[in-house]
Amino acid sequence: MDKFMRTIPFDHLLHWMRSEWRTNAQIFGIPRATFFRKANSRVFALPGGSCELPLGPAAGPHTQLAQNIIAGYLTGARYFELKTVQVRDDLDIAKPCIDAAGEGYNSEWSTELSITDAATEYLKAWLSLPFVKCLIHPDSPAVQPGYVFNVSVGYDLKGIQSPKVDGFLDVLTDASNHPDWRSFQQILYESLLEHKTPSPSTIADIVGNLAPQISTSVTLSTMHGCPPQEIEAICRHLLATKKMHTYVKLNPTLLGYAVVRDLLDRHGFQNIQLQSETFEHDLQGTEAFPMLMRLKAFAAQHDRFFGVKLSNTLPVKNTRGRLPGSEIYLSGPALYPLTISLAGLVAQTFDGKLPISYCGGLDYFNLLEVARTGIYPLTLATSLLKPGGYLRLTQLSTTLDTYLDQIPDNRIDLERLAQLVDSLHNFRKVNEFVTVPDPGKSTEKLPLFDCFTAPCQQGCPIRQNVPDYLYHLEKGDADRALATILADNPLPHITGYICDHQCQVKCTRNFYEKALAVRDCKKWAAENSRVSLSSAPWRRKSPLSVKVAIIGAGPGGLACAAFLARSGVLVTIYEKEASAGGTVQHIIPKFRLPDSVIAEDIKAVTALGVKFITNWPEPIDIHNLHNQGFGYVVIAIGAGQSRPLNLDGANGKILDSLTFLRTFKSDPGSVRLGKTVAVVGGGNSAMDAARAALRADGVRTVHIIYRRTVNEMPADREELENALRDGAIFHELLTPVEFISGNRLKCQRLRLGKLDSSGRPYPIPIENSFSEIQVDCLIAAIGEEADQSFFERNGIVRKGLWYNPKTLETNITNVFIAGDARRGPATVVEAIADARTIATVILKREKIKNSPTVKPAKEMEIIADLSLRKSSLQLPNIQNENRTQIQQEAMRCLHCDLLCGRCVDVCPNRANFGVKVSTPGFKDILQIVHLDGLCNACGNCVTFCPYDGAPYRDKFTIFWDRHDFIQSRNSGAIYLGEGRFSVRLRKKSFTYAVGSTNSPKLSPPTITRVLEQLYQQYRFLLSV
Ligand SMILES: Cc1cc2nc3c(=O)[nH]c(=O)nc-3n(C[C@H](O)[C@H](O)[C@H](O)COP(=O)(O)OP(=O)(O)OC[C@H]3O[C@@H](n4cnc5c(N)ncnc54)[C@H](O)[C@@H]3O)c2cc1C
Ligand code: SF4
Ligand code: SF4
Ligand code: SF4
């Protein structure tokens, strides 16, 4: 039954708020620290009343239920556009209906409640807000509301004139007609008296002064394709017959297909597929503007306000497959360039004299700019659906309140608006942090309890304790930060510069503005700490007799040596080159990784007593090493052989990337490439080759040729951007086929086909479609592999799964394989991960205690501060990488391992709740329970939960209705009264009585504690 929400009866709503406030200093999960406090005395006269702040949730998921509106109020919303009602109030909306991970899509439209229930819900919200004010400001509960409810109706004249919608509007304009008006007033009065503050006379004043005019303004929403005559007729009906101040919502289609397509493409939304029919059928400017003129005059005749709401959503093709149906509605950041352009057009046409209510891609970074043009009220939805949820409003409302005086009064500043529209050319900058790639979910299943996890740690191949070392950096303690890093990562300097930082890809902050600069923080810790690999507690006093030989002194070999040596193992590394460091030392260009940085890590490994034998002549015989007393051998020889590229007519013009980079690094002056170079490939080697080529003597132009598109490139996005910034020219969907007439490189054009085994679309040649590039030299960076002859010589069979995936042991006992030699071209941190696996296996086989790890030192006091962090968007600022900047950056960390709660924050309906449970050794860990009654299966929590799972199905669920309990498959409980629960756990049902010795012992024991807590502290959640 999880598709259908239940509403909370009014008396229980008030009881819930009072109880939650008393026990937890929060209301509907919104903690006191994030409440908005108005500081500016300016208020706005809006159609519908006086408003403290012209800001709030748009008609949508945040204004459907009373508790949603309350949550918005607490965080500073003062203008509430109530969720649209329409005559068809029994629609079965297919679920999920929200996909807010990136730009934002939905497939829902009007309220899911019946019209009568919707009216009651809005009445409950209207009467709840005075109660909320008394709760949180008992000494000064302002009698004036200071907030405005704006109803939203759709979608055609017949429906709006139907008795259902007509009656709804009558109730909203004068709620004294509502059957519950009197009884709710009485409940409010009694609940306030029970609360004891404010004084009875003030309470009597508050209740006596309650205005029954919930909403005297309306926003009209029409379907795409609604004829202009009908739109005009509805507006006239609302203005004249219903006597309501009216906004009419316009669609972005008014800009025309070509403009919308161009705006989307220019701002990085090429993936959005439009439907030209939508534009053809919709209202055109030639009809819209005269109609708006007539309506403006008509409203004035009737002494009503008239304005436009910009803008409606845009129907687009459903190409993402997350939501049902072929068409979905676009919202969020992608609407910003469209809506602000439309606002510019409308404002110019009406000389700034037609009021505009604005909703389209607002967030912290553009809110003030829009407000300063005089466009308001400002509403938003998608931003509030992302992690942080309602809490994001706190930052928005506080910021807007601070600058309220800069908002022009009753006029639109045309010049400023024109500048804002012009500045869209720079929008790409803004866009970069609102459309970061979806960090995705892990493959780990969502547990019933104890789910909080740090996605950065999950994304890291060596599971580095990122939140802990950021915590130390926040405190300015580089030593403890580096000690935490070294526990998992013996190469902090190298990884501080060139790690491909999968932690950042997964970081929760991606959903806010930008990932934590984790790698830069690590680099700073490494460079500013006095701790090193060889300082206590790592080094054992007396070395053991266990001997391990490692072949190859690249990152894999070095890391494995460090993990073993710090536990006392005697390690010798055999390296064929004259110096250690492997690919990072001999191939990766110095402009990316200075030699001194590599030297720091090698010095630390050496200080652990690791013996290096360099210039070791090939061939190496593993059996000889065994004979010399080495009980274990680790092969870490990398993937040092470039895959060849052979083209007709090349005549010596092709170089492989490794050879080129090696020469460029050791003797850059000797490199002769000519003027124009083509680099073929899309990985990090290709990017380094392109950047190095651009720095080589005589080179003017470098082309990067890649056979798929930028979206499929294996190279770090950052490295591609660096190459482009350096001046490389990027060609996608192209592959070289031959050299013709000397320097003309003929390339085949390609298109993307079906997915191949790598999960990426396969490039297919486009028949007879070629292009030519003039090049003097081609650098092939199309992959690297390990030296096959090494394995053959040593009897290591490389067929199928040729090593044990858990131990990384080859077919020869006690001979292991690590890094690029095992994986093919991979990364430094993956080599370290292999090294750790192997070291752990060897230590276990030798019964050697693993070296001590650093105890997690994070103090729980940090939790108190986290809700404020969750409510704030803040871009990183680490240009100078000084202590203050690093501390500030570390302070952006949300410590997801201590307090994830994304499902709590993003649920518009407050259907996920954090219950404080004491756990031995910890204080007050939050456990998430799901409240079945409030959930409408919109799917938003599923999008943002970092696990493979759906919080609304997989978390312990509280049911209010027996039928719902029976219908659902969720593990959970229904309260039977007097401390007794009917519980279902892993499909088994039983009765549990809190405190009774007859109750069964529950596993995990957390369930017992959660049930006890629910009964003792959170009884208001148990039934309504
Ligand atoms: C151009 C380029 C750019 C890269 N950029 C990045 C990046 O930005 N970030 C990142 O994380 N990774 C990057 N990588 C990948 C990274 O360098 C490798 O994943 C990492 O170095 C693998 O470590 P390894 O120890 O397995 O191998 P290697 O570093 O290749 O080390 C192997 C060592 O074994 C030695 N050896 C080989 N055969 C023998 C033998 N028979 N006897 C003795 N010694 C032998 C070699 O001389 C070498 O020193 C890049 C790679 C390339 C080529
Ligand atoms: S916010 Fe902090 S803990 Fe959360 S994923 Fe990012 S770095 Fe990790
Ligand atoms: S619990 Fe999840 S699915 Fe249910 S309403 Fe909240 S966000 Fe939507
Ligand atoms: S989103 Fe909710 S259920 Fe998922 S890990 Fe976070 S707190 Fe747990």
Q: pLDDT tens-digit profile of 771-784?
A: 999 999 999 999 99
Task: Determine the distance separating the centroid of ligand 2 and the alpha carbon of 385, expressed in angstroms.
Answer: 19
- Pocket perturbation via mutation, ligand 3, pick of 907, 929, 957 by most ligand atoms within 8 A of CB: 907
In the chain, the amino acid numbered 866 is: L
Residue closest to 817 by CA, chosen among 828, 806, 827? 806
Show the tokens assigned to 116: 């009568």
* 540: pLDDT strictly greater than 80: no
Give the number of whichever ligand sits closest to the CA of residue 511.
2
Report d(CA 330, CA 622) in Å as an integer: 61
Nearest-10 crossing angle of helices 335-349, 427-434: 140
In the chain, the amino acid numbered 636 is: A
Q: Which residues pair with 817 in a beta bridge?
A: 635
- Please tell me the residue having the least CA distance from ligand 3 atom 7: 907
Show the tokens assigned to 495: 């990884």
Q: For ligand 1, is residue 553 a contact (CB within 6 Å)?
A: yes
- Pocket perturbation via mutation, ligand 2, pick of 522, 863, 894, 905 by most ligand atoms within 8 A of CB: 894
Say if CB 81 and CB 147 are below 8 A apart.
Answer: no
Question: So what's the pLDDT on residue 850?
Answer: 74
Question: So what's the pLDDT on residue 856?
Answer: 57
* 70: pLDDT strictly greater than 70: yes
Q: For ligand 1, is residue 587 a contact (CB within 6 Å)?
A: yes
Q: What's the burial of 56, exposed, middle or buried (CB within 10 Å: 0-12/13-18/19+)? A: buried
More confident site: 18 or 711: 18
* 499: pLDDT strictly greater than 70: yes
For 203-236, write each residue's pLDDT tens digit: 998 899 899 999 999 999 998 889 999 999 999 9
Task: Determine the distance separating the centroid of ligand 3 and the alpha carbon of 513, expressed in angstroms.
Answer: 23
Nearest atom in ligand 4 to 941's CA:
1
What pairing do the DSSP bridges indicate for beta strands 912-919 and 922-931?
antiparallel
Report d(CA 978, CA 261) in Å as an integer: 62
At 712, is the secondary structure helix, strand, or coil? helix
- Please tell me the residue having the least CA distance from ligand 3 atom 2: 941
- Pocket perturbation via mutation, ligand 2, pick of 507, 513, 902 by most ligand atoms within 8 A of CB: 507
For 347-383, write each residue's pLDDT tens digit: 999 999 999 999 999 999 999 999 999 999 999 999 9
Task: Determine the distance separating the centroid of ligand 3 and the alpha carbon of 825, expressed in angstroms.
Answer: 42
Question: So what's the pLDDT on residue 380?
Answer: 97
Show the tokens assigned to 278: 């939508």
Q: For ligand 1, is residue 588 a contact (CB within 6 Å)?
A: yes
- Please tell me the residue having the least CA distance from ligand 3 atom 6: 907
Question: So what's the pLDDT on residue 880?
Answer: 85
Nearest atom in ligand 4 to 954's CA:
3
Q: For ligand 1, is residue 461 a contact (CB within 6 Å)?
A: no
Question: So what's the pLDDT on residue 718?
Answer: 85
Say if CB 503 and CB 459 are below 8 A apart.
Answer: yes
Task: Determine the distance separating the centroid of ligand 4 and the alpha carbon of 901, expressed in angstroms.
Answer: 5
Average pLDDT over residues 877-890: 93
Least confident piece of the model among 472-486, 746-760, 849-863 = 849-863
Say if CB 76 and CB 922 are below 8 A apart.
Answer: no
What pairing do the DSSP bridges indicate for beta strands 632-635 and 922-931?
unpaired
Question: So what's the pLDDT on residue 538?
Answer: 62
Give the number of whichever ligand sits closest to the CA of residue 900.
4
- Please tell me the residue having the least CA distance from ligand 3 atom 8: 938
- Pocket perturbation via mutation, ligand 3, pick of 912, 913, 957, 970 by most ligand atoms within 8 A of CB: 912
Task: Determine the distance separating the centroid of ligand 1 and the alpha carbon of 801, expressed in angstroms.
Answer: 22
Element (H, E) at 191: helix 181-195
Phi-psi region of 467 (alpha: psi -120 to 50; beta: other; left: phi over 0): alpha
Report d(CA 846, CA 195) in Å as an integer: 67
At 31, is the secondary structure helix, strand, or coil? strand
Give the number of whichever ligand sits closest to the CA of residue 657.
1
Using the CB atoms, write b or e for 345-380: b if 16+ within 10 Å: bbbeebebebbbbbbbbbbbbbbbbbbbbbbbbbbb
Using the CB atoms, write b or e for 923-932: b if 16+ within 10 Å: eebbbbbbbb
Q: DSSP letter at 899?
A: -
Task: Determine the distance separating the centroid of ligand 2 and the alpha carbon of 355, expressed in angstroms.
Answer: 42
Average pLDDT of the chain is: 92
- Please tell me the residue having the least CA distance from ligand 2 atom 2: 893
Task: Determine the distance separating the centroid of ligand 3 and the alpha carbon of 939, expressed in angstroms.
Answer: 6
Alpha carbon 684 to its chain's center? 25
Question: So what's the pLDDT on residue 862?
Answer: 63
Q: For ligand 1, is residue 1015 a contact (CB within 6 Å)?
A: no
Contacts of residues 725-730 at CB distance under 8 Å and 24 or more positions apart, as own/partner, are 726/690, 726/691, 726/694, 727/694, 727/702, 728/679, 728/690, 728/691, 728/694, 728/702, 728/703, 728/704, 729/701, 729/702, 729/703, 729/704, 730/703, 730/704, 730/706
Residue closest to 427 by CA, chosen among 329, 316, 334, 544? 334
In the chain, the amino acid numbered 1024 is: V
Report d(CA 243, CA 302) in Å as an integer: 8
- Please tell me the residue having the least CA distance from ligand 2 atom 6: 507
- Pocket perturbation via mutation, ligand 1, pick of 684, 779, 794, 836 by most ligand atoms within 8 A of CB: 684
Provide CB contacts within 8 A for 794, sequence distance 6+.
Answer: 620, 621, 622, 623, 812
At 370, is the secondary structure helix, strand, or coil? helix
Question: So what's the pLDDT on residue 1?
Answer: 45
At 245, is the secondary structure helix, strand, or coil? strand
Average pLDDT over residues 651-674: 95
Task: Determine the distance separating the centroid of ligand 4 and the alpha carbon of 452, expressed in angstroms.
Answer: 6
In the chain, the amino acid numbered 443 is: T
- Pocket perturbation via mutation, ligand 2, pick of 470, 501, 892, 905 by most ligand atoms within 8 A of CB: 470
Task: Determine the distance separating the centroid of ligand 2 and the alpha carbon of 465, expressed in angstroms.
Answer: 10
The pLDDT-based confidence of 196 (bands split at 50, 70, 90) is confident
* 268: pLDDT strictly greater than 80: no
Task: Determine the distance separating the centroid of ligand 1 and the alpha carbon of 949, expressed in angstroms.
Answer: 37
Give the number of whichever ligand sits closest to the CA of residue 941.
3
Q: For ligand 1, is residue 817 a contact (CB within 6 Å)?
A: no
Say if CB 54 and CB 397 are below 8 A apart.
Answer: no
Across 90-104, 105-119, 375-389, 743-757, which has the greatest mean pLDDT? 375-389
Residue closest to 510 by CA, chosen among 101, 931, 196, 866? 101
Question: So what's the pLDDT on residue 842?
Answer: 97
In the chain, the amino acid numbered 868 is: L
- Please tell me the residue having the least CA distance from ligand 4 atom 7: 901
What pairing do the DSSP bridges indicate for beta strands 654-656 and 777-780?
parallel
Report d(CA 945, CA 482) in Å as an integer: 30
Rg over CA atoms, the chain: 32
Task: Determine the distance separating the centroid of ligand 4 and the alpha carbon of 450, expressed in angstroms.
Answer: 9
Report d(CA 522, CA 255) in Å as an integer: 48
For 304-330, write each residue's pLDDT tens digit: 999 999 998 899 999 888 899 999 999
Q: For ligand 3, is residue 316 a contact (CB within 6 Å)?
A: no
Q: φ and ψ at 713, to 5 degrees?
A: -65, 135
Q: For ligand 3, is residue 940 a contact (CB within 6 Å)?
A: yes
Question: CB within 6 Å of ligand 4 — which residues?
Answer: 446, 451-453, 900-903, 928, 945-947, 951, 955
Q: φ and ψ at 983, to 5 degrees?
A: -115, 140
Residue percentage of the chain with pLDDT more than 90: 80
At 49, is the secondary structure helix, strand, or coil? strand
Task: Determine the distance separating the centroid of ligand 4 and the alpha carbon of 194, expressed in angstroms.
Answer: 36
Task: Determine the distance separating the centroid of ligand 3 and the alpha carbon of 98, expressed in angstroms.
Answer: 10
* 849: pLDDT strictly greater than 90: no
Task: Determine the distance separating the centroid of ligand 4 and the alpha carbon of 456, expressed in angstroms.
Answer: 15
Task: Determine the distance separating the centroid of ligand 3 and the alpha carbon of 3, expressed in angstroms.
Answer: 9
Cα distances (angstroms) measured from residue 832 to each of 522, 552, 707, 875: 16, 13, 31, 31
Least confident piece of the model among 138-142, 546-550, 830-834, 934-938 = 138-142
- Pocket perturbation via mutation, ligand 2, pick of 470, 484, 508, 870 by most ligand atoms within 8 A of CB: 508
- Please tell me the residue having the least CA distance from ligand 3 atom 4: 935
Question: CB within 6 Å of ligand 2 — which residues?
Answer: 454-456, 466-467, 507-509, 516, 518, 893-896
Task: Determine the distance separating the centroid of ligand 1 and the alpha carbon of 93, expressed in angstroms.
Answer: 54
- Please tell me the residue having the least CA distance from ligand 1 atom 52: 685
Q: For ligand 3, is residue 936 a contact (CB within 6 Å)?
A: yes
Alpha carbon 357 to its chain's center? 28
Give the number of whichever ligand sits closest to the CA of residue 636.
1
Alpha helices in 594-727 (DSSP H): 595-607, 622-627, 657-666, 684-695, 717-726
Report d(CA 636, CA 575) in Å as an integer: 10
Nearest atom in ligand 2 to 893's CA:
2
Cα distances (angstroms) measured from residue 718 to each of 69, 504, 884: 41, 12, 25
Task: Determine the distance separating the centroid of ligand 3 and the alpha carbon of 935, expressed in angstroms.
Answer: 5
Count CA within 13 A, CB hemisphere, residue 231: 27
Q: For ligand 3, is residue 935 a contact (CB within 6 Å)?
A: yes
Sheet holding 378-380, edge to edge: 55-57, 378-380, 356-358, 306-310, 245-250, 217-220, 148-153, 79-81
Alpha helices in 435-465 (DSSP H): 455-459
Cβ atoms within 10 A of the Cβ of 789, count?
11
* 138: pLDDT strictly greater than 90: no
